[in-house]
Amino acid sequence: MKILNKKISTKNFPFIIAEIGINHNGILSNAFKMIDHAVNAKCDAVKFQTINVKQLMIKNTPLANYQRKTKFNSMNDLINKYNLNHLDFIKIKNYCKSKKIIFLSTPFDIESAIFLNKINVPAFKISSTDNDNIFLIETIKKFKKPIILSTGMTKINELKKILKTIKFERDKLAILHCISDYPTDVSHSKLGSIDQIKKLGYQVGFSDHTIGTVAAAAAVTKGAVIVEKHITLSKNMEGPDHQASLECKELSKFVKDLHDLKKSIGDNRNSISLNENNTKKIAKKSIYFSKNLKKNHKIKKDDLIALRPRLNGVSPIDYIKIIGKRLKTSVKVESIFDFKKIK
């Protein structure tokens, strides 16, 4: 999958999304500050949430458990307080363009999806809450853009049903393993789900709601090509998502650690690095002669010894190829064996 100039692949660094969500608290300047932090940290994208409250929920929708620590009486009040308008999002998208970072936003309703397409968002993120909302998803599919689908609150059989029913384009869909608990205890991360999703034949990522970075790092080792992490200016800010977020000052280390981890996974053992090969020539052993021997001597096992350095010599594992052969010339003790020295 490709989003603008970013190719998402197991061969590349994970595509890192700094999830701002509503952690700007409805203040545009906060959004700009968080974008700056994401740019400085070398994130690939920032993501927001675009919401028409009247199309999202009925009146007086109760708060989710994790939202009840806020001062609000209903989810309607909470979203209305922290929501941004369409003009704000146009300013944010333009600011992202000027900073050369990808702007993404999750639409929570059809009107918001149409608006985001109109301002040319390069890909669509579908939240866990809407991963079975066929009305919204069929609208988004018509835009022919890459889709990132979260899977919180969704069993694997339910996910299979969604994929069978909606029929996404395989090369335009990435599926994020997600636990919709804010914050998620690391022990409840269920990263084995990444293997289940990979078996479905789609690119897989991780929407991380844990505190810290361990789960995200583990997800990358399991093949996650996208990592989404909530960020905040401060965990002490008012609002429901700040506690499950990474503070912006921690973001640079988070990105660097994931990049370094990806580098450490590297290739398989079919080759060794240039530096390692240089070490090999000194540190590994070759077959040397253990004594002075005369021309035509028939080589026995005790005529040979394994010594450093390897140089371009013969590995001791191949000594059996030498036993019983006769020398073409006399050799001295501690001289390195060479097949050219035998008949």
Cβ count near 213 (within 10 Å)? 19
Tokens of 49: 């949430």
pLDDT value for 201:
95
Q: Exposed, middle or buried, 320 (CB in 10 Å: 0-12/13-18/19+)? A: exposed
Instruction: Identify any residues that bridge with 102 across adjacent strands, giving them in sequence order.
Output: 45
Considering only CA atoms, which of 19, 120, 123, 106 is closest in space to residue 56?
106
Structure tokens at 214: 């361990």
Q: Which of 158-162, 186-190, 261-265 has the lowest mean pLDDT?
A: 261-265
* pLDDT score of 91: 98
Q: Token digits for 139?
A: 């609208």
Tell me which of 220 and 244 has the higher pLDDT: 220
| Contact status, residue 193 vs residue 164, Cβ threshold 8 Å | no
Decide which of 194 and 71 is more confident. Answer: 194
Q: What is d(CA 318, CA 334) in angstroms, rounded to the nearest whole number?
A: 18
Binned at pLDDT 50, 70 and 90, residue 336 comes out as very high
Residue 61 pLDDT > 80 = yes
**Tens of pLDDT, residues 116-131:** 999 999 999 999 999 9
Indicate if the pLDDT at residue 44 is higher than 80: yes
Q: Which residues contact 103 (CB under 8 A, 6 or more apart)?
A: 45, 46, 48, 92, 93, 96, 97, 121, 122
Question: Given the DSSP bridges, would you call strands 102-107 and 45-50 parallel, antiparallel or unpaired?
Answer: parallel
> Which tokens hold the place of 66?
């994790």
- Three-state SS for 11? coil
The whole-number average pLDDT for the span 190-208 is 97
The span from the CA of 28 to the CA of 22, in Å, is 11
Q: Note whether 322 and 306 are within 8 A (CB).
A: no
Judge whether 172 and 147 are in contact, CB under 8 Å: yes
Mean per-residue pLDDT over the chain, rounded: 95
Residue 66: the pLDDT is 82
Name the band, by pLDDT with cuts 50, 70 and 90, for residue 331. Answer: very high
| Model confidence pLDDT, tens digit, residues 288-310 | 999 999 999 999 999 999 999 99
Domain boundaries, given as residue ranges, for the chain:
9-265, 274-341
Is the pLDDT at 70 greater than 90? The verdict is no
Picking from 129-138, 266-275, 331-340, which range would have the lowest pLDDT averaged per residue? 266-275
pLDDT in the model for residue 104: 98
Task: Compute the distance between CA of residue 222 and CA of residue 228 in angstroms, rounded to an integer.
Answer: 15
The per-residue pLDDT for 252 is 96
Q: What percent of the chain has pLDDT over 90?
A: 90
> Would you place residue 243 in the very low, low, confident or very high pLDDT band (cuts 50, 70, 90)?
confident
Q: Which CATH class is domain 274-341?
A: alpha beta
Q: What is the largest CA-CA distance in the chain?
A: 100
Q: Are 218 and 206 in contact (CB under 8 A)?
A: no
**How many of the other CB atoms lie within 10 Å of CB of 239?**
21
Tens-digit pLDDT profile for residues 257-283: 999 999 998 767 778 889 999 999 999
Element (DSSP H or E) covering residue 46: strand 45-50
Right CATH number for 9-265 from 3.30.559.10, 3.40.605.10, 3.20.20.70, 1.10.630.10?
3.20.20.70
**DSSP annotation of 9:** -
Residue 312 has pLDDT above 90, yes or no: yes
- pLDDT score recorded for residue 271: 81
Residue 136, pLDDT above cutoff 80: yes
